[in-house]
Chains A and B, each alone.
Chain A
Amino acid sequence: MTAPADPLAAHRHALADAGLLSPAGAAGLYGRTHAFERLVAGVETTMAQAAADAGATVVRFPPVIPAWVLERTGYLQSFPDLVGVVHTFRGGDDGHRRLVERLEGGEEWAEALEASGTALCSAACHPLYSWVPPKLPPGGALWDVYGWVFRSEPSPDPARMQAFRQYEVVFVGEPDGAVAHRDRWAEWALGLTRRLGLEARSQPANDPFFGRSGRLLAASQRQLGLKYEVVCPVGPEREAAVASANYHQDHFGTAFGLQDAGGDPAHSACFGLGPERLVLALLHAHGLDPARWPAPVLHHLGC
Chain B
Amino acid sequence: MDELIRSVLGDHARLHVEATAVGDDQDLYSVGLTSHASVTVMLALEDAFGVEFPDSLLNRQTFSSVSRIRAALAELGVGAGPGDSPGLATGSGGR
Give the interface of A toward B (CB within 8 A). Answer: 74, 77-78, 212-213, 215-217, 219-221, 223-224, 249, 251
Main secondary structure of the interface of A (DSSP, over half): helix
Provide the bound-state CA to CA distance between A224 and B60, in Å: 9
Per-position 1/0 for B14-36, Cβ under 8 A of A: 00000000000000000000111
* A223 and B60 contact, CB distance less than 8 A: yes
Tell me how far the C-beta of A74 lies from the nearest C-beta in chain B, rounded to whole angstroms.
6
- A249 to B, closest residue via Cβ: B34
By DSSP majority rule, is chain B's interface helix, strand, loop, or mixed?
helix
Query: Contact between A223 and B59 (Cβ–Cβ < 8 Å)?
Result: yes
Taken together as a complex, chains A and B put the C-alpha atoms of A215 and B52 apart, in Å, by 13
Nearest CB of B to A263, in Å: 15
Residues of chain A within 8 A (CB-CB) of B53 are 212
User: B39–A251 contact, CB under 8 A?
Assistant: no
| Interfacial chain A residues near B43, Cβ < 8 Å | 213
Tell me the B residues contacting A by CB distance below 8 Å: 34-36, 38-39, 42-43, 53, 55, 58-60, 63
Min C-beta distance of A222 to chain B, whole Å: 9
Minimum CB–CB distance from A252 to chain B (whole Å) comes to 11
- On whether the beta carbons of B39 and A213 are closer than 8 Å, the reply is yes
Q: A220-B35, A249-B34, A251-B36 are in contact. Are A215 and B58 (CB under 8 A)?
A: yes
| Cβ–Cβ contact B38 & A251, under 8 A | no
Whether B42 contacts A220 by the Cβ 8 Å rule is no
Considering only CB atoms, which chain A residue lies closest to B39 in the complex? Answer: A213
Complex-state Cα separation, A256 to B41, whole angstroms: 22
Nearest CB in chain A to that of B59: its residue? A219
In the assembled complex, which residues on chain B have CB atoms less than 8 Å from the CB atom of A74?
A: 36
Q: A177 to B42, alpha carbons, bound, how many Å?
A: 31
